[in-house]
Amino acid sequence: MNVPWELRVAARYLTARRKQAFISLISGVAVVGVAVGVMAVLVALGLMTGLQSEIRTRILGATAHISIFEGSGDPFESYAEVVEKVRQVPGVAGAAPAVYGKALLTSTTGSAVATLKGIVPADEATVTDVVEHIREGDVAPLEEPWEGPAPVLLGSALADSLNVGVGDVVTVTSPRGRLSPIGVLPRVARVRVAGTVKTGLFEFDSSWAYLPLAAAQRFFEQRNQATLVEVRLDDMFAVGKGTAAILAALGHGYVTTDWVQMNQSLFSALWIEKMAIGITIGLIVVVASLNIVATLVLMVMEKHKDIAILMSMGASRGAITRIFMLQGTIIGAVGTTVGGLVGWGTCRILDRYQLIRIPEDVYQIASVPFRLLPGDATVVLVSALLVCFLATLHPARVASRVDPAEALRYE
């Protein structure tokens, strides 16, 4: 294989020893600077991407992709018919009715405000992963007829705050009272804990409870009615197309909302954080590229005699330019490769062993997962190589302008 002589000279200059050991040391520092910069950017992007994807996955595990409401804002009278029509729409994985309401849950040792959701467990399993996240107890009591207090599934953190477990009885008080001869009285019912649910999202685990649909309809006085119909799609990112198909199948009189609209502010904030952190930490690569400039400038000053000799032997100014551009490119390529490998390995280790813990009540999850997307990694690596290449242009141009006669006059 015939290696260009410019590349051989560039590699020799970078690995010079003895008198030029200082130049080699600076070159090594430049390589380390580029590697650290690339590694830092990859880890930062992996962190933000992992955080965003994990929160999205857990939110969609506890909520539906699309929610359908009556256009008038009233509860559904014909929710069973709507569910059947929606299930026939292509791209729909499941549909289920639900009843929502707020209530105060009270035990002998505590109280908490919670969101009550009335569900049909078999249907709910087709739109959310709540049934799969039951930590203690079982969903079976919600599927069977019951006598006495209705069965309920509590979020794990909610159950802990109430200090209750499977089999304990909790009092439920609705803020919507009922009329009586002595005025408005609060609506009160008793429920028995059938199990606890741990979705991994603090918002849901600390303030959600799940009742049989019939029990929720009775408690909120929505006889044979549903607050909304929830839908899960085969492709969670196809909510626009899925919504249009569902509304076309149902006709007029219905409105929808989807997971993108409901969580837009959260994911927008995470995206802005990802871009801001990526750009800020990416400046490390720019700073490292200045080391390449300094290295090449020193190299030109040290090698002006060699440059003059090469030009006297017939080397063109373009060849001299290529020698120093290749030096900077080699530094950038080695640093980028090392930084890419170390960054990828760091993301794998941090993700596997969950080494970074974060406040669960702020970010909804207890530890940060790391997801390094191929697209993000490619952009970082290519950008780092481009920055390093641009850093070589000025020193290489200076080297090509060396006057051989002037350089050799005093040698």
- Could you tell me the two tokens for 391? 């850093």
Mean pLDDT of 180-199: 82
In the DSSP assignment, the letter for residue 352 is: H
What is the mean pLDDT of the segment spanning 74-86? 89
Instruction: Determine the average pLDDT of the residues in 245-262.
Output: 92
Average pLDDT over all residues of the chain: 88
pLDDT of residue 377 exceeding 90, the answer is: yes
Q: Is the pLDDT of residue 410 over 60?
A: no
pLDDT recorded at residue 137 = 93
Give whole-number Cα distances, 229 to 69, 236, 399, in Å: 7, 17, 72
Judged against a pLDDT cut of 70, whether residue 381 lies above it is answered with: yes
- pLDDT of 49 strictly over 70: yes
Residues 6+ apart with CB under 8 A from 120: 96, 97, 212, 213
Closest CA to 117 of 226, 271, 265, 257: 226
Q: Which of 13-17, 18-22, 39-43, 76-80 has the lowest mean pLDDT?
A: 18-22
Burial class (CB in 10 A: 0-12, 13-18, 19+), 69: middle
- Which pLDDT band, with edges at 50, 70 and 90, does 92 fall under? very high
For the ranges 19-23, 60-64, 115-119, 249-253, the lowest mean pLDDT is seen at 19-23
Return the SS3 of 74: coil
Cα 102 from Cα 208, distance rounded (Å): 9
CA–CA distance, 391 with 295 (Å, rounded to integer): 10
pLDDT, residue 21, reads: 65
**Residue 376 has what pLDDT?**
92
DSSP letter (8 states) at residue 75 = P
pLDDT at residue 41 greater than cutoff 80: yes
Of residues 124 and 203, the one with the higher pLDDT is: 124
pLDDT band at 13 (very low <50, low <70, confident <90, very high): confident
223 phi/psi in degrees, rounded to 5:
-60, 125
Three-state DSSP state, 32: helix
pLDDT for position 269: 85
pLDDT of residue 296: 87
Task: Inform me whether the pLDDT recorded for 232 exceeds 90.
Answer: yes
Ranges of H-type helices in 303-363: 304-312, 317-353, 360-363
- Alpha-carbon distance of 141 to 153, in angstroms, equals 10
Task: Return the pLDDT at 275.
Answer: 87
The string of DSSP letters for 199-228 reads -S-HHHHTTEEEEEHHHHHHHTT-TT-BSE
pLDDT of residue 19 exceeding 60, the answer is no
**Token output for 332:** 């950038």
Q: Where are the domains of the chain?
A: 5-59+265-409, 73-252
Q: What pLDDT, on the 0 to 100 scale, is given for residue 259?
A: 94
258 vs 224, higher pLDDT: 258
Contacts of 201 (CB under 8 A, 6+ apart): 55, 58, 59, 62, 364, 365
Please state whether beta strands 66-70 and 228-233 pair in parallel, antiparallel, or not at all (unpaired): antiparallel
pLDDT-wise least confident of 40-44, 256-260, 306-310: 306-310
The β-bridge partners of 367 are 357
- For residue 372, which of 38, 148, 79, 141 has the smallest C-alpha distance? 38
User: Among 274, 221, 243, which Cα is nearest to 99's?
Assistant: 221
Largest CA distance in the chain: 114
Using pLDDT thresholds of 50, 70 and 90, give the confidence band for residue 86: very high
22 has a pLDDT exceeding 80: no
pLDDT over 60 at 183, yes or no: no
Assess contact for 55 and 270: CB atoms under 8 A: yes
